[in-house]
Amino acid sequence: MDRFLEYLNHHPYLAGGTLILAMVAAAWELYSRAQNATGISNNEAIALHNRGGLVLDVRSADEFAAGHIVNARNIALESLTNNLDSIKKYREKPVIVVCETGTRAAQAVKALKAQGYTTVFNLSGGLAGWRGENLPLSKLQENKAGKKAQS
């Protein structure tokens, strides 16, 4: 212990710099954990979805039509709070929120939690990560009558 105090006395700038870097690293780690506290992997999302969880896609209708997770429900982020009645039965069930990269989904997770949804998750990496693992996507196509159908 005496040698440590002697070191601190002889090298105050190195000791101070080390302390500052340690504090910055700790703060960054806490920030990262807080941001990803509700994030789940693709495999975890599949497991929750298979057990009856809702996949909620908060992208625009056009983005959703271009490709989405099978059986996902689309409510654009801008209209989410106005359309919560359509998903109220999932208030106590798992809800996996999806967007392209995870940014809009993080906003939707906060909004859903504020409305009392208890188990809400953000798909880490969004659909970009889903595509990166070559997981299946469904697309909406218009049939001859002009109605959209899933393929």
DSSP states of 20-52: HHHHHHHHHHHHHHHHTTTEE-HHHHHHHHHTT
Kindly tell me if the per-residue pLDDT of 15 is higher than 70.
yes
Q: Spell out the CATH class of 39-150.
A: alpha beta
Q: What percent of the chain has pLDDT over 90?
A: 65
pLDDT above 60: residue 149: no
pLDDT in tens, 90-140: 999 999 999 999 889 989 999 999 999 989 999 999 999 999 999 999 987
pLDDT of 23-44, one tens digit each? 999 888 776 665 555 789 999 9
Alpha helices by DSSP H, the chain = 2-10, 12-35, 42-50, 61-66, 103-114, 126-132
79 falls in which pLDDT band (50, 70, 90)? Answer: very high
